[in-house]
Each structure stands twice: as structure tokens, then as C-alpha cells.
Structure 1
Amino acid sequence: MKTSDANNAGLLIEQFDGNMLYCPEMRSWYGWDGKRWVPDSGQIYQVAKRVAGVWDNEAKECDNTTRKNLLKFSTYCESLVGLKAMIHLAQMDADIQINTNAFDRNPMVLNADNGMIDMEAMKYVDFDSREFITHKADVSYVRGARNKIWESFLEDIIPSEETRLFVQAAVGYSVTGLTNEDKVFILFGDGCNGKSTFVSTIINLLGTYASQASSDLLLRKRSSGPRNDMFVLMGKRFVAATETGESCQLDENVIKQMTSGERVSVNPKYKSQLEFTPTWKTWLSTNHEPSITGTDFAIRRRLLLIPFNVQIPSNKIDVKLRTYLANNYEGRSGILNWILDGVQLWRDNGLLLPEQVLNFTKCYHDDQDSIGHFVTERCIVEEGAMVAKNTLFSAYVAYCKQVNEKIRTKNAFGRYFKSENFSEVRDAQSRCWVGVRLDDRIEIYSK
């Protein structure tokens, strides 16, 4: 065999025995640990050092001159230069390359500590490297296990059985890799209501499938560049964000990106530019209603508010409960089965919205709709009516200042009237909306 870096690369690939792959987009090796594919943290160099041993063994069968040359080459193979050359050439071999879209491609498989759960067939199966799974929940599947403490906790913080079943189905849907419901779940309510304990329990159980995201993931930013904070969420399924301030605005474009099922592009540091389809569902916990500026149905239908309005008295708070739910490994198996029951609920019925969630969400959107309030309270909608666009917007700004409502942008104002099917015309002096006018019975100051 010829002593060369190229042959070393071939020998290195033989050492992998199918248990190492290279992802050009991530510029990283991945190794199979028996349960999932994990980014390499230096193991590739340990494997590469074995190649020197191949040449050592080859030398034993050769004459003195050849043996001397092979042993010299073996020493080179263990050098940093030799190792880097070998690894670099190996990673260029198409047979051991994998792209990011091949990882975690089955949305209905959940990887656990003791095997995989096929949520399509609802059965437990052995680990399989050919699924190319990179995530794992921190829980073991135990058939028939229940956690009555968890169930009792849910009954305390969500008294409505209809709402509890909805939340169970929503969590079940969230642990799949599907995003076809196009929803962001907003847990709203003042403190001491159990929502943080609820979310942290799910996060701890789901292991690397879950993430506690930056608090500004959903918020409008001043810069308009790519949202590279999404990169770390690739392949996740349950993403929690917390506490938006009273003045914070949700970034409606980001919400649509995360829930539309369309691919997003990111350009993270030290990686190639990537495109991937979000697989996570976002759960936002907040004490304040987040603000939205859009009035279109496309954003409204994506936001679901789940009320957490039970206030647990301080003398009845179980200070050990959160620790138990977070750290009791055996108890997680029962919670996992509760989640899997939720998967089945969702598959059977979809997200059946309870009246409590529907009403709460409607009230939230109504509160956000300053334009709708203005039209209802300050305008007359009638056939043949007409008003100049600038006049109407000035009146709207004055109204918002009078009643202390958030002023939407002029573009948002125009989109609202277009979405409500008001037509536009131009008269001799200005552009006008047709079908609406200001109520001249009400004094409106536009200055």
C-alpha cells in the first residue's frame, strides 16, 4: 500500500465502521454514541491515531528498509500535520458526508434514554443510527407508568378539564416535529400560578429536544438582519420563552417564519449559510400581554392565549414540588406517558380549542385592535361615504392619544382598511377611502 495522506484518509474511514459522519454545512464531524449522533469534540483525532497502528502492523511483515520507511511514515501519521491532512481528506469523501436536512428527519419519532418511540404507530423500538437522530429526551419509556403528583398539579393550576385536555393535546403536538397547526402558545397570568413549573418540567423531560430561548426571540428588534438566534433551535421541538415587558412588541414576521412551515435562512458564525425548516413550537410565558401591531388574520390566528389565572395562596405553595418534578427521574416516565396520550389526543381530534381559550384569545386581540376600536367609536361605515386618507389617519392618531391606546403605523392602518374591503379612490385633492367617514357628531381633534 502506498504511503500517502489519501491512503490514510481511506484507512481512517475504515476505522469509522459507519459510526462517524461529516456535515459540510456545520463544518463538524458527528459520531454515533449508541443512542444518537452527537457533534464530535475531538474523538476524530483519537480514531485517526489508530491509522499509525495500521502502518506499524504493515511494517512487521516487511524487509528492514521497507520497515524503516513505514515506521517513519507511522510517526508522521501521529503528528499534527499528518493527522490534519488525513482528516481533511477524509471529510471530503462523499460517502461519509451528510447534510443537515438528513438529521432528525422523522417528525414522529421521539428518542428516549432506553429506545425510540414511534409516535405514528405508538410503539417502542430500538435505537437505529439510520434515523440520524441528534436529539434525546431525558426520560425512559415505561409502559403504563403514571405520575399522579403531576396530574394533581395540573388539576390545581388548570381547573377546567376541557382546557387541561387542550393543553395536553398541545404539548403532545409540540413534541412532534410537525408545525402544521401554525400556533404560538402564550401562557398568560400573574405570578404564583404554576406556569413556570409546568414549562420547566416539560423542558427538563425533553432534554435536547427542548430549549429555553432568549427572552427576545419573539420580539421586534431594531436591526433588520437575519435572525441567527434561530440557528440554535434547529431540530428542537419545544421552545420556551419568558416574560415580555409591557412595552415589548412581538415580531410578527418572525412568528410567521416559525409557524408557516417554510424554510428559513441563517448565517451563523464559523458555519456555512444554512436553510432549514423550523420544527419547534414556541411556548411564551408572560405576566404582560405582548403587543402586536398587525391587524391581519394571518398573525391573529397564530397566537393562542392560555389563561393561568389561578392564584395559589402563599401558605399552600409546595416549595418542593418544582424540585421533585425537575429532578425525580423515575417520575418522568409517567409524565412522558401523559405527553404521549396528548399526542394521541391531537392526532385524533387536532387542537380542539376550549371556550375558555377562545374567549381569552378573542379578548386579547380585541384589546390589541386600536384601529378597530377607532372605526367602531369614531367612524360611520356606510355606502357612498368617503374620507381623505390623511384626515382619517390624523383622527385615528388623535383618538389613540385621547384613550391611551397604542398607535399603529400608517402602513398598518392602510392594511386594516384593505383587509376590511374598503376601496380607494383619488378625488381632486387627495386619496380617499370609500365606504367610511368620520362621525361628525363626535368632536375629534387631529392636532
Structure 2
Amino acid sequence: MSIPEELKTTPRWVCCTADKLPICPRNGDAASSTDPGTWSDYATAAGAVTRLGCRGIGFVLGDGIAGIDIDHCIDPETGVVAQAALAIVESMHSYTEISPSGTGLHILWCGTKAGPSCRKALAPGMGLEMYDGGRYFTVTGRSWHNPPLPLAERTAEAAEIYHQYLEKQKPAVPTAAQAIPVQPRPAGAPSDSEILEKAKQAKGGEKLAALLAGDWQPYAASQSEADLALCNLLAFWLGADKARMDAAFRASGLYRKKWDERRGADTYGNLTLSRALADCQEVYDPRPTALPETSAEETEAEVAGLLRSMGITPEKKQEPQLTPTAPAPGRKTYSLDDTGNARRFRDLYGDRVRYNYTQGCWMLWTGQVWRRDETAAVKQLCDEMLDSMEKGLFGIHDPQQAATLRKFIQKSRGSHAKDNLLKEAQHLTGIPATDNDFDKARGTFNVGNGVLKLRDGTLHPHDRTRLITRLAGVGYDPKATAPVWQSFLHSVTGGDEQLQHYLQCMVGYMLTGSTREQCIFFLYGDGSNGKSTFLDVLADLFGSYAMNAQSETITARRQSDSPRADIARLKGARLVTISECPADVWLDEAIVKQLTGGDTVTARYLYGREFEFKPEFKLIMATNYKPRIRGTDSGIWRRIRLVPFTQTIPEDKQDLQLPEKLRAELPGILNWALEGLRRWMQASAGGKRRGLPPCAAVDNATAEYRGEQDRLKQFLEDCTEPAPGYTVQAGILYQTYRAWCEENGERFPLTGTKFGREVAKALQRRKNRLNYEYLDLRLTDDGTRVLAAFGQKNGRFRPGEPLSEQLRLETRPLS
């Protein structure tokens, strides 16, 4: 492949299927071009293609890297390239490659797009698209140029192409006086007002009547939602005629100036109408329908029996729908309405669908795991059900009965009818669920070939009744080994067997849903030391049990304390890797205590409802910068585990194929982790809370980290010294401390009260006639300098009088 290094070193890679769906390289879940947590580095994505059964890899545009896609510009038979495409390639003169189809070109370049438009036809069958974010391009490495061009800064050139091809002419905004003209209606046809009056009297007509009157609050969360709801109804009743819909809306109580406001090159009203028309699958026909004469009673009975054999309840002739006669013994019947369809759907597919009320989504059983339905697969099940119903029509001989049933099936195929079916099914027995119903089996680990019971290591078949939503990225093979992994661990630990043992038990503990250790792990060290590779392997091993979170999740935030969506998405995970934090950020000690302490947390998905859950995930961060910690007591420090990665791997000894080799050993690495789990469980048996083994490297690194973060101790060492017989007034010492904090960029100095309480633990003090003073202590030269600068800046000392004379009043020998 000839992929530029600038792309390879940018961690915005995904895998992609034959249908061009983006896939997270680490766990095989659906990826998103707007969620960095679903991307990876180049090596991980390239190595996951075969393992995940994907077609190739892709790069997510953004962060200063943009792309141009020219479709169908290469003749598949002759290889001739369209002149317009060649002109664009020559103008951009940046890395260009042939698309997976072999008939298109992708141009990747550094810069941004000049406007909001994204696509336009260059010629019949040939399209041009330009993006600088929110999209991903498949990457083939089949360079158009020889040798390949590097990524180049081409913002100016891209702007010229944008203005030439993509920039839209701004049409005049239609106003009320320029509304879409209504075409004349056929003679004798009912007027729109007559149709809408009839619609108000039909089933569900009260909603249409209320919306036409402007009374939207009972039916929508916002007026914009109400606008679309009314347009959807108008599309059905007015024959999907945009002009008639526009006129009816303008006459309604919902019409307001916003209807004619510009939205880019269009108007809000026209966009709303277009959206409603795109969703419209059927329309009302005001013409009367001629039905054949009623069949004889014998024929009706035969037809009714056939309908019941299909599981459909026939209904009375005089009603708009057929009502049932006596059902066949032992056979379930369904009414011909939304509820009947919903019950049929539940009976057919209830063992593989659930509706999650917490997240507001359908969940589907894949045979291994329950997955969120993000591709409207439940609607495909609706189609499958309706296809089955339609096949049963061939056994019905009565034209009227067959026509009535066919009409009902056709009506059920409409998008709104399927929505109604699914909405009705949500509450039926066996279908509803909440987040708290899923992932309760904390003592199991779901792998590719079954469910591991962690306590005894036995493998059991996948079971939908466990409601597991997570799946590891590996199958269980009890005979698998991992020699490359063992060699890697020996290298990154410098041969420290005690540290290797600790890492093994740590990963084994992470397999469980237990948070007994109540700690957070920081993998710390400079670059080229293996910590990122270590975490990447864990992410591959854990699959969807592993999730990535931004460093803001556990560092100090300015937002309110309201339930957080970034925590809601972590429910059910066992391992949460934290993105590296920048230098000089403060740990959010309260949230770390809450997430590691085993307590119930309150969370909320974006636009969703609040819910509570107990975290079972373990937090781990690989970082070159240690977060700042204000707390000095064991409340926070007993939770901190600093795992040192101090062995730098020389560049000439780095194995670029190591990630692929380690992924090939995942079954063996799972066995290594299970052995660590066995040791952890053995050490924590008998009610002991701690199962992680002692490790000098971890204990010493953590103790050193704690000493670095004790800023009060550092202040006393910098600004004071023991001096038998001397005293320092408490106020002067605190002012010196505040001055030292200001000079050293401390954003959160202790209050006077807390300062006094903490210093009293280290120094002896007494109370004189006026205030407290610390005994056997005096300021160092640095302390005097810091205090002097602070005092002069804030008017603390008297000008013209030597500072030493003033300090002598406050720092003096004991009398």
C-alpha cells in the first residue's frame, strides 16, 4: 500500500464492510464518523480486517484532513478518465487513489471546505463530493500517481473547485404571496376543506383537528415537531400534493413567519413539506371503491376458515374491517388492526427482540449477544411478517375477502403503519425491558463460542435469556498459548516478574463484574514503552466489554452535577480505557471515588431519561502526564495505582508487526488472563477485599506520585526551615503559602482554616496574646523573597521600611 505516513500516524481509522458500513476495529461494533471512541490507529484497523470479516479500512475525515470523492469517472472497460475529473486531480495535486470499485477517485488533502454544500453531479452518472468532517473515506492504497503524492495543503485550490462546482445559487425565498401554486382540481372532486372535514371525523381525527387549530402541546414536544406531524397527516389526506399541503398549512393555526424563513438555499416550510413527502407511503383516495357482490354463505364460511388457518381473524361484512367468527380450536387469531399486527409480530419474533425503554430503542438477538438496532432491522422483520401473510392470500377464493385482506396488508406495508405496529408491540408481554434488565450476569464473560462461567472456567452455550449485550473479541480455546505476549511483557517490565504477575492478576480481575479493589490504574511512562500496545491488546481481547472514554470523564469539569451521558454509555462495560490527559489537569476526585467505590450512580443518555446503575467497569489510563490530585488523605490515595512502564524500546528493536502477532494470540492471552483471575480470586477468598498481589514497582511508583502531589509538603520544604528558638506568625506563614501558590500556578490553594489544620499535623504551634505562631521555624531566603514580592504587590508591607525590620516583628526568637 502507498498510504501516506501523515494518514497512518493519525488515529482516525475504522474498518468497513462490503456495504461500506464503518466498524470499530477494536470490538467489531458499528463505528461512527462523529465518535472518536469508535476509531483506532492504522495498525489496529489494518490488523482487524480479517478478524472481523470486513472488506477494508477507512479514514475518518476531520482534524484538518479533508477529502474529495469523484464517482464513476473511470470507464471500467477502457480505463479512460473523464476530463473534468482529471482537471480536479491536477488542480489539487495531493494524494489521490483509486476507489474500491475501480471506477472512482479519492483525493485526500490538508485544509477545510469553503462552504456547506457537499455534492453535485459533474456529468450524467458522475458525481463530485467534498467533505472536511463527519464522513469517512474507504482507503485502498492504490495510488493514482507514481510515485504517490504526499498530503498537501490545498485549501485555496479546494475553494476554487467548490465555487465552480458545488456552490449553490440562492433561490428567492417564497413568501406567503409567492406560495407554491395549487393546480386546479378535477370537476366533481371534493375540495380540500371537505376532505379535511371528513378526516377530522375519521379515527384519530382529533389530532388533525387540534393541529389545524394550532393546539399542538398534547401531541408534540415542540412546535417544530408539530409542524412535521401536521404535514405528515396532510400528505396522506391531500394526495401527497405539495402545493395543496402548503396551502392547507398556511391556513392552519400552526402557520407563522418561521414557515418562510430561509434554511440555507431553501425555506423551513419547504424542507418540512419535503421531509413529510419522503416519509409518505400511501395516500387517501376520495373516489368510491366498487366491490364485487357478497359471496354465498357457504363460500363465506370457507373463506373464514382459510383466514383463520393463516392466523387472521375475519370480521363482519358490514364493518370497514372483518370481525372474527369462531376461531379454530387451538389456533391463535389476530384482529386486522395495529394491535393485531403487533401481537402477531410479538408471537413471531418475541424471542429475539426487546424494546429498551431506557434508551428508547429496539434490541435484537444475534445468536451471541443482544445488540442495539441501529439499522431499522425490526422493520425488515415487519416486511418478513407481511410477506408471509401475503403468501396466504393464494388460498382464498372469494374476491371480496381476498381484496379486503390484500388491502389491509398493503396498508400495513406503509411506513406509518409499521411505526404504529412497532409502537403497539413495545408494551406487549415479553417485549419491554430497561437497561437494568441487561448484563446482570457479572460472573460470566461472553466469548465468541459461548459464555464462560468465570468461577469455574466452564463454557456454556450462548443464551438469549441472560440478556447479555457485550461480546469479547475472542473465542475460548483452553489449549491456546501466547509466547509472543509473554515475551512482550518481559520486555516492557524489564524482566520484573513481580510486575508481570501483578499485570496478570490486574487483567484477570478486569474480566469480572466486581469492583472490589476500588481503584483506578494509571499506566505511566514516556513514549515507546509498550503501554499503548498493552491497552490495545486489552481492547481487542475484551471486545465490546471494553469502552473508551475521554479524559474529561475523570478530570475536573466546569459543567453542572447533572446526570451525565458520558457515564451512561459505560453501563455494562468491564474495562474503560481513558484517553491520555493533557499536562496540568486535575483529577475529579469525587467522580473517581463514585465510579470505583461500587456505589450506585445516576446517569442519563442524551435526550433520555435518568436511570441508576452500579458500575462494574475498571478504569485504566495510559498517559505521559500524571493528573494533579488535591486530596492528601487515604480517601483518594488508596484508590490510585500507578503502574510504571519505564522500559524504552529502542527504535531499531521495535517490531512493526507486533500488533498483528499479538492479535493472533488472543485466545492464549485470554487463558493468561483467566490464570490471573484464578490467582486473584484465590487471594481475595474468605472475605478479603484485596486480591491484587503486592508489587514493589507499583507501590513505590504510587508513593512517589503521592509525594509529588503533596503541595503543602513541597511548600514547607521550599519556604521554611527548622530554627530552634524561632517562631513564625500563623498569618505570615499563610500569606507566604498563598504567595508560593501564585508563583507556582496553583489554581486551588487551601483555605486559611484548612491550611492551619493541615500544617498543625506537621508543626508545633501555640497561641500568644494576639494569634497563633509556629514554633522552632523560620522562613528561608526563598520564602522571604516570595513573601516580599507578594506583599509589595498587594500592599501588605509598609513602603520605605526595610522588609527585614518588618519581618523581625513577625519572625523572631522565642523570648
Q: TM-score, normalised by structure 2?
A: 0.50
Structure having the larger proportion of residues in helix? 1
Q: Describe how 1:365-384 pairs up with structure 2 within 5 A.
A: 365-374=706-715, 378=720
Deviates more, 1:366-375 or 1:38-47: 366-375
Structure 1: distance between partners of 2:775 and 2:637: 26
In the alignment, the residues of structure 2 paired with residue 412 and residue 172 of structure 1 have an alpha-carbon distance, to the nearest angstrom, of: 46
**Does 2:328 align with 1:8?**
no
Q: Supply the distance in 1 between the matched residues of 2:523 and 2:501 (Cα, whole angstroms).
A: 15
Q: Partners of 2:336 and 2:506 in 1: how far apart?
A: 59
**Superimposed CA distance per residue, residues 98-129 of structure 1 (whole angstroms, 9 cap, x where no aligned partner):** 11112111112111111111101211111111
Sequence identity (%): 29
Within the alignment, does 1:360 sit opposite 2:701 as a pair? yes
Counterpart AA for 1:25: T
Contact residue 27 and residue 272 of structure 1 kept, 8 A: no
Choose from 485, 501, 518 the match for 1:165: 501
Q: Distance in 2 between matches of 1:131 and 1:290?
A: 39
Structure 1 residues 355 and 11: alpha-carbon distance in aligned structure 2, compared to 1, 3 A threshold: same
CA distance in 2, matches of 1:84, 1:224: 37
Pairing 1:200-211 to 2, within 5 Å after superposition? 200-211=536-547
1:276-355 alignment to 2 at 5 Å? 276-326=613-663, 328=664, 331-349=665-683, 350-355=691-696
* Contact persistence 1:15–1:47 (CA under 8 A): no
Encode CA deviations 1:298-323: one digit per residue, 9 max, x unaligned: 11111110111112222222222123
Q: What is the rounded CA distance, in whole Å, between the counterparts of 1:123 and 1:185 in structure 2?
A: 29
Q: Secondary structure at the match of 1:285?
A: strand
Cα distance in 1 between the residues matched to 2:424 and 2:513: 35
Residues 292 and 204 (structure 1 numbering): CA distance in 2 closer, same or farther, change over 3 Å? same
Match of 2:738 in 1: 397
Match of 2:371 in 1: 38
For 1:60-139, what aligned pairs fall within 5 Å after superposition?
A: 60-61=395-396, 63-139=398-474
Q: 1:72 to 1:238 in 2, by over 3 A?
A: same
**Residues 183 and 157 of structure 1, relative CA distance in 2, 3 Å threshold:** same
CA contact (8 A) 2:738 2:749 kept: no
The residue type paired with residue 265 of structure 1 is T
**Residue 231 of structure 1 pairs with residue 573 of structure 2:** no
The higher radius of gyration belongs to: 2
**Could you tell me which amino acid in structure 1 is paired with residue 460 of structure 2?**
V
Within 5 Å, give how 1:407-426 maps onto structure 2. Answer: 408-411=748-751, 414=754, 417=757
- What is the aligned residue count? 437
- Hey, what's the Cα distance between the residues in 2 that align with 1:425 and 1:71? 96
Shift of 1:56: 3.8
The answer for unaligned runs of 5 or more in structure 1 is none
1:439 aligns with 2:780: no
Q: Is 1:236–1:279's contact at 8 Å kept on the other side of the alignment?
A: yes
Partners of 1:211 and 1:64 lie apart in 2 by: 58
- With over 3 angstroms needed to count, the CA separation of the structure-2 counterparts of 1:17 and 1:90, relative to structure 1, is closer
- Shift in CA distance, 164/66, structure 1 to aligned 2, threshold 3 Å: same
Match of 2:361 among 28, 46, 55: 28
Q: Is the 8 A contact 1:110 1:137 kept in 2?
A: yes
Deviations 1:1-48 (A, max 9, x none): 232211111111011141111111110111111101011121111112
| Contact map agreement 2:521 2:641 (CA 8 A) in 1 | yes
The residue type paired with residue 28 of structure 1 is: C
User: CA 1:221 to 1:131, structure 2 compared with 1: closer, same or farther past 3 Å?
Assistant: same
| TM-score between the two structures when normalised by the length of structure 1 | 0.88
Question: Contact 2:346/2:425 (CA < 8 Å) preserved in 1?
Answer: yes
**Distance in structure 2 (CA, Å) of the matches to 1:416 and 1:324:** 57
Once the two structures are superposed, what CA deviation does each residue of 1:208-234 show, in whole Å capped at 9, x if it has no partner?
111232233322122234442122222
Give the residue type in structure 2 aligned to 1:49: D
Q: Label 1:413 to 1:372 Cα distance change in 2 as closer, same or farther (>3 A).
A: farther
The one-letter amino acid paired with 1:45 is K
Contact 1:55 1:70 in 2 (8 A): no
Q: 1:267 aligns with which of 571, 581, 604?
A: 604
Unmatched 5+ stretches in structure 2: 1-312, 314-334, 684-690, 791-815
In the alignment, residue 627 of structure 2 is paired with which amino acid?
A: P
CA gap of 1:416–1:241, structure 2 versus 1, over 3 A, is farther
- 2:758, 2:635 → 1: CA distance? 14
Task: Give the aligned residue type for 1:19.
Answer: R
1:294, 1:412 within 8 Å by CA — same for their partners in 2? no
Instruction: Name the CA distance, whole Å, in 2 between partners of 1:361 and 1:241.
Output: 19
Superimposed CA distance per residue, residues 151-190 of structure 1 (whole angstroms, 9 cap, x where no aligned partner): 0110111121111111110111112111121111111111
Q: CA deviation at 1:262?
A: 1.5
* Structure 2 residue 379 is the aligned partner of structure 1 residue 48: no
Are the structure 2 counterparts of residues 416 and 3 from structure 1 closer, same or farther at C-alpha, using a change threshold of 3 Å?
A: farther
Would the alpha carbon gap of residues 223 and 425 (structure 1) be closer, same or farther in structure 2, given more than 3 Å must change?
farther
- CA-to-aligned-CA distance 1:80-99 (integer Å, 9 cap, x gap): 12111111010022431111
- Shift of the 412–5 alpha-carbon distance from structure 1 to 2, 3 Å rule, reads farther
Question: Contact 1:293/1:412 (CA < 8 Å) preserved in 2?
Answer: no
| Cα pair distance change 1:56/1:429, threshold 3 Å | farther
Letter in 2 for 1:189: G
Contact 1:264 1:276 in 2 (8 A): yes
Distance 2:600 2:717 in 1: 39
Task: State the alpha-carbon separation in 2 of the partners of residues 42 and 4 from structure 1.
Answer: 22
CA distance in 2, matches of 1:206, 1:243: 20
Question: Separation in 2 of the partners of 1:193 and 1:365?
Answer: 23
The one-letter code sitting in structure 1 at the alignment partner of 2:635 is A
1: CA distance, partners of 2:766 / 2:421: 71
226-235 or 290-299, larger mean C-alpha shift = 226-235
Q: Determine helix, strand or coil for the equivalent of 2:451.
A: strand
Q: Cα distance 1:235–1:426, how it changes in 2: closer, same or farther (>3 A)?
A: farther
Mean Cα displacement is larger for which, 16-25 or 218-227?
A: 218-227
> Any idea what SS the aligned residue of 1:284 has?
strand
